[in-house]
Chain A
Amino acid sequence: MHILVLLRMVPDVVEELEIDSDGRTLDVDYVRTILSESDDHALEQALLLKERHRATVTVLALDAPEVDDALFTAAAKGVDRVIKVEGMDTGFTTRQAARVFSQAIVDAPGVMPADLILTGVQAIDDLDGLIAPLVADDLHMPYLGIVTRISLDPSGRTARAIKEFPAGVRGEFQIRLPAVLGIQAAEKPPRYVPVAKVRAAMKTFKIECAEVPTLADGGWPAVSVLEMKRNEPAGHAEMLEGAPEEVSARLCGILTERGVF
């Protein structure tokens, strides 16, 4: 069984984000990148399936600052192959990324056939699309998103996936493989890999590089960002200031007025 995992880096929002002087993009000097959280879960899910079914796992990632650290970490966690697609402009969008992935999957030797293609359900910067459904359509595969559990059917030709619906309801789907799944959360939280193992991987593991494929005309009209700004909580909440005791007393007063109790 062969599982392909698509990984992307996104801005790390731990630090305050700064807007570039053009007023339309993030200031990249100040921003660090981190593996998209649901992509990390997709990777973990792939590794769990690998352990269960003795599958091989290939990671396909787009080049970005600090991506190597994430890739060597994936290697240390036990993936079999890592391919990095290089040579793209910075500032490419989700839709372009999906097209790059689709083309690279077809072009890169040995990536297909894959039984499962896993990626995160949604990243925090997916402004103009989602990876999983676009790749699924490009490859003419079934797609299911918001998946939290996957199990292979004995035949190996279909799988069961659990998708989250609202109000805590979940749906069990049967999907014909190969399929593309957007992972919300892995069955277990992403595993910890000690730094020593990652460093060892940096010395021994070879990340393959692939050139960014020349895309056929993107063929879709641009989504242009006119303005980008920080979302300051602009006076929506009335802020109560002071020591905890003062603030609590004031709040109690408000609650009493409002008839809460």
Chain B
Amino acid sequence: MPDALYLWALTLPAFGLFGYGVYGYFKVLARARREKRWDHPGKRLKLVLTQVLGQRRLIEEPLIGVAHLLIFWAFVFYATSFFWNLARGLFPFLPIPFADEVRWMRIALEIFGVLGLLALAVAAARRYIFPPPRLEKSRDASVILGLIALVLVSSLASQWFGWRAMWWVHMATVLGFLAYLPYSKHLHLLAAPFAVFFGSLRPGSVPASSAGASSLEEFTWRQLFSGLACAECGRCDRSCPSVQGGFALSPKMLMHHMKELVRGTAGGHDGASFVGDVVKREEIWACTTCLACMQRCPAMNEHVPVLIEMRRRLVGEGDMDKSLQEALKSLNRYGNSLGAPPRARSKWTQQLDFPVKDARKEPVQYLWFVGDYASYDPRITAATCSAARVFHKDGLDFGILCESEQNSGNDVRLAGEEGLYESLQEKNLKAFAKARFGEIITTDPHSFQVLKHEYPAANGARSVRHYTQLLSDLILQEKLPLRKKLKLRVTYHDPCYLGRYNAIFNAPRRVLAALGLEVVEMPRNRTYSYCCGAGGGRIWMEDPPVYQERPAVSRVKEAAALSGVHTLVVVCPKDFVMFQDAIKTAGLEDRLEVKELSELVEQAMG
């Protein structure tokens, strides 16, 4: 029958082009480094359920989120209907009706068709009339919008007006769409669900130790896949402090480079190397590893691991700014990034009127891992002392490792110096092994992250808690005597390493509430918290020559804009330093002050 023949004539090349494109990607990915992502299939399916079928992250931007959800489900129905029709059309002897000959299918198609077109109108209006910043306005996107619209319109027209020609237009358009798919950004249709399934179950974990990556074969397949799954929506850029600050990095651009790398269009001619020429050094070093991009990305792409792999390559060649070099040399030699004498690490305790136990010499319940800045930087030792006095007043049995404590290595790892991280970890583990303690507490979220997740539990499972968790638990158990209620309006900054990395939002807030403080939230709070800019080793690096506004300055302005709020509460030493500096830069000294939570707890204890 001629109809079937025509259909075959359209289908074969379309499927051929599609298959060829997809097969090409498989071949490329097969050359990449292996990475196991089959574990916990149940959890992975659940992710697909919520992120793909439920479009959870897309709905965070409600208008386009709902629109995209409708388009997605319209697509699901139309795809089903298409394959149904195709099967019936190609194999006329099959004893099934065409999809649009089945009543409930017709109704579903009509409803989703209309809703889909409405959603497309919203999407188009958003894209062309009031686009959000960082949305990639490519011709590809316009073509796709047009094609989808045509798919829906042609199907509706075919159903409503019985125009046979429209049926053919519809089938041809979908086949054309299919053929075009591997070569457009709409590859994300196919790739994103798999990207979600094979996504990291622990975003924020550092990629397994490697020598770094600068060529295709050196990245893992999932890292490369991020480029294919990227729909260029710009959500990563919109949440990135480097982008907002006017630094060189754009996470979206990074994904685009990965896409180019996979497609083989990234350069490599004229000796252009991926790391350094295609992706510039300033971009690679600008990341604060705050994880905002990865939290927002609907395809669960892996921007930060890609950057870390590239940093490892640069570090391997000693290619970094002098300031970072000095910090790493100091960390290697003295265990702190400040070039400070190791024996002076516990000098801050001299400001207290009670002795602090040396955990190497006597057993303690709580081993307090203090951290570099909290130990040495005079701007922060006051807060460290407050914490000590709080623990002491509450009768907690705590101690420190004094000069045996080395930098935990969290930011060293993120800066790409794996070998140095291992060396620091070894020294710390040796110190832990010699001490006797019940659990580790820390006042430094960066140390918390790596101690909890990356350090092997030396003698059995070790509990690691941030001090806000400890205080929160003590408050719940009514073991923290608070004599005064501090009647203040304050705002609280969720540090990246407690908040986004570990979902610890409520414990600090519980403590603040118990102190009698009224917490006014900043617009960007909890997982939307805005990074202070110090993470990922950036605090050790020089400022780039050109930038607009440091992230910390933007953040303190946000805090200062809250009416009646004059106190910004932090629970991370780096936040403390960055915001103090930012307040001076922004000239907000009369308007806002930074306080460590420990200082407020001490006040409330009376």
A198 to chain B, nearest CB (A): 7
Q: Is the CB of B420 within 8 A of A192?
A: no
- Which B residues lie within 8 Å of A189 (CB)? 322, 325
Q: Chain B nearest CB: distance from A200 CB in Å?
A: 9
Q: Is the CB of B341 within 8 A of A15?
A: yes
Task: Give the residue of A14, A15, A34, A195 whose beta carbon is less than 8 angstroms from that of B419.
Answer: A195
Q: A233 within 8 Å of B by Cβ?
A: no
**Interface pairs (28), CB distance under 8 Å:** A14-B334, A14-B340, A14-B341, A15-B341, A15-B343, A15-B344, A16-B343, A34-B333, A189-B322, A192-B315, A192-B318, A192-B325, A193-B318, A194-B315, A194-B316, A194-B318, A194-B418, A194-B419, A194-B420, A195-B417, A195-B420, A195-B423, A196-B316, A196-B419, A196-B422, A197-B316, A197-B419, A199-B423
- How far does the Cβ of B496 sit from chain A's closest Cβ, in whole Å? 26
Q: 1/0 per residue A154-197: CB within 8 Å of B?
A: 00000000000000000000000000000000000101111111
Q: Do the beta carbons of A191 and B341 come within 8 Å of each other?
A: no
- Interface positions, chain B 310-366, Cβ under 8 Å from A, are 315-316, 318, 320, 322, 325, 328-329, 332-334, 339-344
Q: Is the interface of B mostly helix, strand, loop or mixed?
A: helix
Known pairs A194-B418, A199-B423 / 7 extra A-B pairs, C-beta < 8 Å? A14-B334, A34-B333, A192-B315, A192-B320, A192-B325, A195-B420, A198-B419
Per-residue CB contact flags for chain B residues 413-429 toward chain A (1 = under 8 Å, else 0) read: 00001111011000000
Closest 6 CB pairs of A and B: A196-B419, A195-B419, A192-B318, A195-B420, A15-B341, A192-B325
Binary per-residue interface labels of chain A (118-148) against chain B in the complex, 1 for a CB within 8 Å, 0 otherwise = 0000000000000000000000000000000
User: Chain B residues with Cβ under 8 A from A16's Cβ?
Assistant: 341, 343
A residues whose Cβ falls under 8 Å from a Cβ of B: 14-16, 34, 189, 191-199
Contacts of B333 in A (CB 8 A): 34
Contact A14 B339 (CB under 8 A): yes
Once the chains bind, are B419 and A191 in contact (CB under 8 Å)?
no
Query: Known interface pairs A14-B334, A194-B316. Does A199 touch B341 (Cβ–Cβ under 8 Å)?
Result: no
Q: Which residues of A contact B422 (CB under 8 A)?
A: 195-196
Interface 1/0s, chain B 106-149, versus A by CB < 8 A? Answer: 00000000000000000000000000000000000000000000
User: For the complex, what is the distance from the CA of A135 to the CA of B343, rounded to whole Å?
Assistant: 37
CB distance from A244 to the nearest CB of B (A): 12
Given A14-B334, A189-B322, are A194 and B341 also a contact pair (CB < 8 Å)? Answer: no
State A14–B341 Cα separation when bound (angstroms).
Answer: 6
Q: Contact check: which of B328, B340, B341 meets A192 at CB < 8 Å?
A: B328
Task: Report the Cα distance A199→B332, complex, angstroms.
Answer: 12
Q: How far is the CA of A16 from the CA of B315 in the complex (A)?
A: 32
Asked whether B342 lies within 8 Å of A194 as measured between CB atoms, the reply is no
Whole-angstrom distance between the Cβ of B205 and the nearest chain A Cβ: 20
Contacts of B344 in A (CB 8 A): 15
Q: A189 CA to B334 CA in the complex, in Å?
A: 20
Complex formed: what's the CA distance from A184 to B128 in Å? 63
